[in-house]
Chain A
Amino acid sequence: MGSARKSAYALKDKYAIVGIGTTDYSANSGRTVRALAIEASANAIADAGLKPADIDGIVSYNFNDSAPAIAVATGLEIPNAGYAVDFLAGGNAANLIVLSAVAAIEAGLADTVVCYRAMNGRSGFRLGGGREFRALGPTQFTAPFGWITYPQAMAMWCRRYQVEYGLTPEQLGNVAVTLRENAVLNPRAMQRKPMSMDDYLASRMIVDPFRLYDICLETDGACAVVVTTAERAKDMKQKPVYIMGGAYGGGPQQGDDLFDCIRWPDHSKNYSHYIAEDLWRSAGIGPGDVDVAEIYDCFTYSILMQLEGLGFCGLGESGSYIADGHIRRDGKLPVNTHGGLLSEGYIHGFNHVIEAVEQLRGQSGPRQVADAEIALTTAGAMTCGSAMILRR
C-alpha cells in the first residue's frame, strides 16, 4: 500500500527490552487491576536486576478499565517519573507503547521506562460484551441494529475476506488448533486441553462466520516490560532483546473509534497492509528473516489477514499457507508459540511481547523455537495497529 511515513524509524538496535514480568492469568483474579499492574511491573523491574528507583518512566494503554500510570508509579514508589502516559486505546497500541517508551527516552524525558497492560478482563470490565446503550457518536449508526460487540464487529471483516478470497471453516479452525498445540506446552496458558478439528467445528456458532473457538479468551492478568538504551542494557542482568524496528498506522479511513469501519475501503485487508513497508524498512529485514512471530489474534481471522498484509504469503493464500503447516512450531514461521490470545490468554496483546522476549532469550522451555534470533510482534486486527521487530 506504500509507505505512510516521510521519514524512517531511525533507532534500529539503539533500545532494548531488559526485563519482563507477568501475573498469573485467570478468569477471576480476586484482586484490583492496580494490584495486578504493580505485581507485573515489579516482576519486570526485578527481572532486569533493577529497583523501582531506577525507573523514571511508565506507560500503558486502556479502555478506562485499568489502573493509570501514575497509580502504578505511586504503588511502586517510583521517585519521579518524567514520563507517565496512558493511551486510551485497544490492542492496536500494544506495540505502540513500547515504541513510545523508546521515543520518550530518545527525547530525554526518561532513561528507563516500564510499559504494562493490566486488566480484569473476565471478572471486571468485559471488552467482548455490550457497549454503551445510548448510541452516541459513531455508535449511533451501529448499535441500534444490534451490531454491538467486538466479535460482531470483526465477523464483518472476516465475512468480507471470505467473499473476496474464499475461506472454509477448516481454514479458520487450523489457526485455533495450531495455537492450542502450543498452549498445551505453556504453563502460563489458560487453555491447555488439546483441541481437535472436530472440537473446533463442534463449538457453537456465536456470530457467523465465528464459532466460540474463533474468539479469544477473556482474562484477568497483567504483563510488563522494561525498556532502556542498548548502552545501559549491556550491563544488566538479562541478555538484552533489541528493538530493531517498528511501525504504527492503518491508512486514511480509520474511523471515529476502534469499532467504526464504515468508511474503510476494503475489509478483506486490515491495518497490516498499510504498515508493512515501514515496518520492514525500519528493521532492514524482510518476512523471510523472521524466526518466530507473535501475531495479534483476538480472533482467528486476524492472523490470516496479517500474514497476507505483512507479506508472509500472497493475498488470499493464508488459508492454504496455514493448512500446509507453516505456522506450526516446527514450520517455517512458528506463530503464537505461547498459544496466543486464543489459548494463552488475552492481556490485550501485550502478552505477545512477553513471549517474543522469552523466545529470543531461549527461555520458552518445551515450546522454544530452536535458535530464534529475530521475532515479530504485532498488535491490531482492524483499521489501525502496531508492530515491532525484535532480535536477541
Chain B
Amino acid sequence: MSSVESYEKPIPVPDPDSAPFWAGCRESRLLIQHCEDCGHNQFPPSNLCAHCGAGGLSWKQASGAGKVFSWIVVRHPVPKPVYAQDVPYVVALVELAEGVRMPSNIIGCSPEDVVADMPVKVTFKQVTDEVVLPLFEPA
C-alpha cells in the first residue's frame, strides 16, 4: 500500500456532503443518497434532494451493478509523469442500477472491449492509507 506522499494522482478531499460516500468506500460499500420523502436517488451528494428539495437525505448502499453510459480512452497522459504508466486507460460514466451516474475507471478488460451499455460491477481499490476508490469491471 502506498502512502499519501508517494501517490501522485489527485486525491479526493471529502467535504460535509460527501464524507459518508468516501467512508463507505473504505468499507467496500458504494453509498448513494436517498430521499425518504420522494424516493429520489442522488449522486453526487448534495445537502438537498434535487428532485423535491427535501433536506435530511439518508444514505443507502447501491447494488454495485451498472452499465457504461459513455466512456473515453485516455491515450495522451496529462500530466505526463503521473499517468505515463497508465495509458491507455478508460474513464466511464457508469449508470448504476439505482439510476444515478458515477464517473470511474473500467478495469479488467482491454479499452477496445468497452461498449455502450456494457454491464459492469463495482470493485474497490485502496490507493492510500486513507483513500479507497470505487472502480468498475465487466460484470
A interface residues (Cβ-Cβ under 8 A, vs B): 129-130, 132-149, 152, 155-157, 159-160, 163, 204-209, 253, 256, 262-263, 267
Contact = CB atoms under 8 A, between A and B. Distances in A.
A208 B102 contact: no
Contacts of B91: 145-147, 152, 156
Interface string B98-139: 000111110000010000100000000001000101010000
Nearest to A163: B116
Contacts of A149: 78
Chain A CB within 10 A, most for which of B71, B83, B91, B116: B91
Contacts of B89: 146
Nearest to B79: A130
A206 B76 contact: yes
B9 A144 contact: yes
B10 A134 contact: yes
B9 A159 contact: no
A141 to B, nearest CB: 5
Given A146-B83, A262-B103, A140 B93 contact: no
A349 B22 CA distance: 38
A268 B123 CA distance: 28
Contacts of B101: 262-263
A329 to B, nearest CB: 32
A164 B62 CA distance: 27
B28 interface: no
A158 to B, nearest CB: 8
Interface string B66-101: 000111111110110001001011010100000001
Contacts of B44: 138, 141, 256, 262-263
A207 B76 CA distance: 6
A163 B68 CA distance: 11
Contact of A134 (B11, B76, B103): B11
A156 B72 contact: yes
B75 A206 contact: yes
Contacts of B104: 145
